[in-house]
Structure 1
């Protein structure tokens, strides 16, 4: 099965990976959160080929994660995060937390600080009912309406 064919699977994780699941796409998103907006800026920041970068930017625009628009100043276009794009931030921060814990033997290379109090930002999994912090051991997957709709 080709990667793109997985978009029809009744699984939100799988469908998300079809859009976001390669390293260049996540690095483009990291650059966007770092304030990069222009094509040449992404290319300089990442050192990625023009064709690969264009492919990733086009996919992010197609899925409404970035929007391409005229720049406020100058005669060029820029890529801006949409609300859907901003919702990718916790995903990147989860990668950061995991990388800090397991891939940074000398400590975190970057601290992401809360602007208001200077505390450090982390991703936590919590229950939407009781607000308890939970782990994978405390979660039980069960079929939802998207799964049931595909079986009728």
Structure 2
């Protein structure tokens, strides 16, 4: 199966990986959250080739994660995070938490402080019903409406009641 064909699979983990699943895209997002907005600044910060940078920025714009707009000075184009792009922040923070735990032998290289109280930001999974913390051991995936639609079957009454 080709990488692009994965976008057609009814999986909410696989589909985003088609868009986000390479290191350059995630590094572009990290730079965007740090305030980098211009093509040359991305290239300078990351050391990425112009063609690869153009491709990755284009993909992020195509998927509505970044938007291309004229800078306030009117002389340059900027790439700005959209609401959809800002929604990716917890993913980067989860990767950072994992990296700090398992790949930072001398301690975290950076602290991500909450500006209001100087505490540190971390990602935590919680249940939307009870508010409890959950781990992979606490979760049981079940077929959802997107899979039913993909298979061409309507949901059963029992599945509709659970929602």
TM-score range, shorter chain: over 0.9
How many residue pairs end up in the alignment? 152
1:118 is aligned to 118
What is the RMSD computed on CA atoms of the aligned residues?
A: 0.5
Report the Cα distance in structure 2 between the residues aligned to 1:106 and 1:95, rounded to whole angstroms: 17
TM-score by length of 1: 0.99
2:23 is aligned to 23
TM-score by length of 2: 0.92
Q: 1:138: how far off? A: 0.3
Report the Cα distance in structure 1 between the residues aligned to 2:72 and 2:90, rounded to whole angstroms: 28
2:58 is aligned to 58
Report the Cα distance in structure 1 between the residues aligned to 2:107 and 2:73, rounded to whole angstroms: 40
Q: How does 1:97-112 map to 2 (within 5 A)?
A: 97-112=97-112
Report the Cα distance in structure 1 between the residues aligned to 2:49 and 2:21, rounded to whole angstroms: 18
- CA deviations 1:78-104 (Å, max 9, x no partner) are 000000000010000000000000000
Q: 1:128: how far off? A: 0.3
Q: 1:74: how far off? A: 3.9
Report the Cα distance in structure 2 between the residues aligned to 1:95 and 1:150, rounded to whole angstroms: 30
Q: How does 1:1-152 map to 2 (within 5 A)?
A: 1-152=1-152
Extract unaligned runs of 5+ from structure 1. Answer: none
Q: 1:73: how far off? A: 1.4
Report the Cα distance in structure 2 between the residues aligned to 1:74 and 1:62, rounded to whole angstroms: 23
Extract unaligned runs of 5+ from structure 2. Answer: 153-163
Q: Larger Cα Rg: Structure 1 or Structure 2?
A: 2
- CA deviations 1:118-139 (Å, max 9, x no partner) are 0000000000000000100000
Report the Cα distance in structure 2 between the residues aligned to 1:118 and 1:133, rounded to whole angstroms: 23
| 4+ residue segments displaced more than 6 Å | none
Q: 1:68: how far off? A: 0.2
